[in-house]
Amino acid sequence: MLLRCNGRMPRRRNAAGRTIGCPDPDHIALPMPDTLATADELGMRLALDQALNAQLAGEVPVGAVILQHTAQGPQVLATGYNRPITTHDPTAHAEIVALRHAAQLLQNYRLPDCTLYVTLEPCAMCAMALLHARLKRVVFAAADPKTGAAGSVLDLFADPRLNHHTTLVGGVLAEPAAALLRQFFAERRAQQRIERAERVEHVERVERGEHVERADRGALRAAAPPSPDQATIPVGETTEWHAPASPDPQHREPQ
């Protein structure tokens, strides 16, 4: 169970003798998990919540959260969700958004005591940013066979020519993360089919010489195929998702 602090939960010991609560009203204190696997699932559930925020904003549903390891246990330091479309920013992937918030909060461009959880395998841009930040661990859920840079298309975390300070874990809660992506793309395809049918219907009406009302002409323009620079999924972003070869969590220490 997650315990939200909100400044009204002073640090105290719970029934199990663990210290919970947090003096910082912006932090969410997590009960100390019994195992690392449990901790990773707790972190990934928070990232999945962020992915839902992306979905609500009409973005590809990918979410991230950064937990800082403190003497009181892991604390939520920053969150982020995918929003390149809404912010007109091709770098606004969930990991980058969360990284920027965390670095600003700590006033440090390196985050060695932190773990980042993200619901989709990082792309090359995000993987390099995570390596630059010297994160302690990176945990992702679903693999991305099209742009994944943590083992799918390439593996920047394992390249011996780069500095390695980051432990990589993949496949944690992969199925719920993948289900969210599958649902998103299925809805997109259904919407595209509707728009295609509307375009055909309007063209047929024009060809038959039917009078097209002003409102209908507006609908016709709205249903016109988007130009390449109006694509709703940014270039380089995942456009589909397929099941990873191995859904089991994969742990790998830095080399």
Q: Which residues bind Zn ion (CB under 5 A)?
A: 93, 123, 126
The CB density around residue 6, as the number of other CB atoms within 10 Å, is: 11
Residue with smaller CB distance to Zn ion, 74 or 241: 241
| Distance in Å, CB of 146 to Zn ion, minimum | 12
| Distance in Å, CB of 159 to Zn ion, minimum | 17
Cβ atoms of 85 and 234 closer than 8 Å: yes
Question: Phi and psi dihedrals of 186, rounded to 5?
Answer: -65, -40
| Distance in Å, CB of 67 to Zn ion, minimum | 19
In whole angstroms, give the CA distance from residue 123 to residue 146: 9
Q: What distance separates the 2 farthest-apart alpha carbons in the chain?
A: 79
67: nearest Cα among 140, 131, 138, 163: 138
For this structure, is 213 an active site residue?
A: no
Cβ atoms of 58 and 72 closer than 8 Å: no
| Distance in Å, CB of 132 to Zn ion, minimum | 13
Residue with smaller CB distance to Zn ion, 224 or 235: 235
Burial of residue 118 (number of CB atoms within 10 Å: 0-12, 13-18, 19+):
buried
In whole angstroms, give the CA distance from residue 64 to residue 132: 17
Residue in 95, 201, 210, 213 annotated catalytic: 95
Residue with smaller CB distance to Zn ion, 9 or 57: 57
Q: Which one-letter amino acid corresponds to residue 110?
A: R
Catalytic positions, please?
Answer: 95
